[in-house]
Chain A
Amino acid sequence: MERKTPLYDVHIAEGGKIVPFAGYLLPVQYAGGVIKEHMAVRQAAGLFDVSHMGEILFTGPTALDTLNHLLTNDFTDMPAGRVRYSVMCNEKGGVIDDLVIYKFGDEEYLAVVNAANRHKDYAHMAANLLPGTKAEDISDSVAQLALQGPAAPAVLGSLVSEDKLPKKYYTAVRDVDINGMKCMISRTGYTGELGYEVYTAPENAVALWKTLREAGGEHGLIPCGLGARDTLRLEAAMPLYGHEMDEDISPLEAGLNFGVKMGKSDFIGKAALEAAGEPSRVRVGLEITGRGIAREHQDVFIGEEKIGVTTSGTHCPAVGKAVAMALVSADRSAAGTEVDVDIRGRRVSAVIVPLPFYHR
């Protein structure tokens, strides 16, 4: 049985088309459709309900050591108020999940994880805590709205004073008052566009949504669903768990080296990643040059040689092209390489291109 976020009734009232996703009932799109929502985020602003995301709070004197043990990134020199992306690996070096860590203080960190992986993640974290760290799944007491797009600073700026808006990408400001609601404003997102993610208590979610909708009206803000969230992140080449990475794909194969600190003394999966050496397959971008749209799990060929498989694909509205990401043999991965994608039995031409497809 799927659960509802605190905004379920709002989505219905806004004309949202509801689908089950990661155990929740969420809008895949509203009346205007995915392309309109996508372009609103690229040109003005969009508002997403991302309350389904999981939040796990780490506290205690060894919280830092626990995170450095559990996760591939290094949190040692991280200042409070910063946000850092990481991967969580299994012992084989495969990806259990990708997530972001907020540092609130030397003994307090928040992990934000994919909704579909929340219980799996928590079980793995709880089983690998160092003595002196407590992990608590607080997902049900956190609602999250994503306000994304070039107009996002103007929208939020009309509601809070300038100093409460995080200035730098991957920073956050806590305890911000928005119309009497206590929020955390984070300069993060999953769209490749300037924007914020706003965290608050579930009982504030509806009022916060309405406040942002009202403030955004004059800036062209519209509500956006899961469909646009996917096309936006794909266009920006942001990886999605279960597509570009999973328990059998390493973070190095997925091209997430920036979040994997092999120089760190140890973390779960490090030995396996070291043993595997240079990845034999890598994530690349494909631009479809023939007629068709590649989707996930379609084979990629050079002539009769299968070199890999697509992990995500669609038509991306802002670049106006059909694009895909694929895992292909490292020695066949050079930009400019001409390939074919097997789209339901039909070979369609494509070319390997540098990622991302869209740069703001």
Chain B
Amino acid sequence: MSNIPAELKYTASHEWIKNEDGTVVIGLTDFAQNALGDIVFIDLPQEGDAVTMGDSFADVESVKAVSGVFSPVSGTVSAVNGALIDNPALLNEDPYDAWLIKVSDVSETGELLDAAAYEAVCKSEEA
């Protein structure tokens, strides 16, 4: 069963979101890393890039598959987790520590799920 921390918010496309004083931290959930398998490559935006709600801002590749990562907010990338570029396996090892980007100047936010609602999404995809 996937690990779904109660204090985070989620999207139906398997990103986790944490709000740090107006800055939004975005990562990939445990369910997502488990579905992808061994992650071997990630392509991230750069600081200062704009992200748009609902659009893919990163590609995550495992040996099996490639998946886009979708931004639940519109805003400006204020930080990028560069450690993932050299060691994308961190996403498998500790998905809730291995954040992808931080977004500031958030102008719009899509629908976010709480842990219970996200767990229901995971269950329906496992079925």
Instruction: Verify B37–A33 contact, CB threshold 8 A.
Output: yes
Contacting residues of chain A (249-298) with chain B, CB-CB under 8 angstroms: 291-293, 295
- A207 shortest CB reach to chain B, Å: 30
Q: Evaluate contact between A322 and B37: CB separation under 8 angstroms.
A: no
| A136, B98: Cα distance in complex, Å | 55
* Residues of B participating in the A interface, judged by any CB pair closer than 8 Å: 37-38, 40-41, 43, 59, 61-64, 66, 92
Residues of B within 8 A of A293 (CB): 40-41, 61, 66
Is residue A51 contacting chain B, with contact meaning CB distance below 8 A? no
A66 at the interface (CB under 8 A from B): no
A-B contact pairs, 10 of them (CB 8 A): A29-B37, A29-B64, A33-B37, A34-B38, A34-B63, A38-B63, A291-B41, A292-B41, A293-B61, A315-B41
Inter-subunit contact B41/A314 (CB<8 Å): no
CB distance from B58 to the nearest CB of A (A): 12
Q: What is the interface of chain B mostly: helix, strand, loop, or mixed?
A: strand
Residue of B nearest to A36 (CB): B38
Query: Given A293-B40, A314-B63, A315-B61, list of 7 further CB < 8 A pairs?
Result: A29-B37, A29-B64, A35-B38, A231-B63, A314-B64, A315-B40, A315-B63
- Closest residue of chain A to B88, judged by CB? A315
B64 contact from A34, A291, A292, Cβ within 8 A:
A34
Which residues of A have CB within 8 Å of B66? 293, 295, 344
In this complex, the interface size class of chain A, counting residues with CB under 8 Å from chain B, is 10 to 19
Residues of A within 8 A of B37 (CB): 28-29, 33-34, 227
Task: Indicate if the CB atoms of A317 and B43 lie closer than 8 Å.
Answer: no
Give the CA-CA distance A93 to B59 in the complex, in Å.
39
B43:A291 contact, CB within 8 angstroms:
yes
- What distance in Å separates the Cβ of A109 from its nearest Cβ neighbour in chain B? 36
Q: Can you list, as one digit per residue, whether each of A230-243 has a CB less than 8 Å from chain B (1) or not (0)?
A: 01000000000000
Mask of A328-360 contacts with B, CB within 8 angstroms, 1/0 = 000000000000000010000000000000000
Contact of A35 with B63 at beta-carbon distance under 8 Å, contacts A29-B37, A227-B37 already known: yes
Write out the residue numbers on chain B whose beta carbons fall within 8 Å of the beta carbon of A292. Answer: 41, 43, 61
Cα A227 to Cα B65 with chains together (Å): 10
Inside 8 A of B61's CB, which chain A residues have their CB? Answer: 292-293, 315
Distance in angstroms between the alpha carbons of A292 and B64 in the assembled complex? 14
Q: Say whether A227 contacts B64, CB under 8 Å.
A: yes
- Tell me the complex Cα distance, A315–B57, Å: 21
Alpha-carbon distance A344/B63, docked complex (angstroms): 17
Nearest B residue to A228 by beta-carbon distance?
Answer: B63
Find out whether the CB atom of B41 lies under 8 angstroms from the CB atom of A33. Answer: no
* Inter-chain contacts of A317 with B (CB < 8 A): 63
Report the separation of the CA atoms of residues A314 and B65 in the bound assembly, to the nearest whole angstrom. 9
Per CB-CB distance, the 6 closest pairs between chain A and chain B, nearest first, are A315-B40, A35-B38, A34-B63, A33-B38, A293-B61, A293-B41
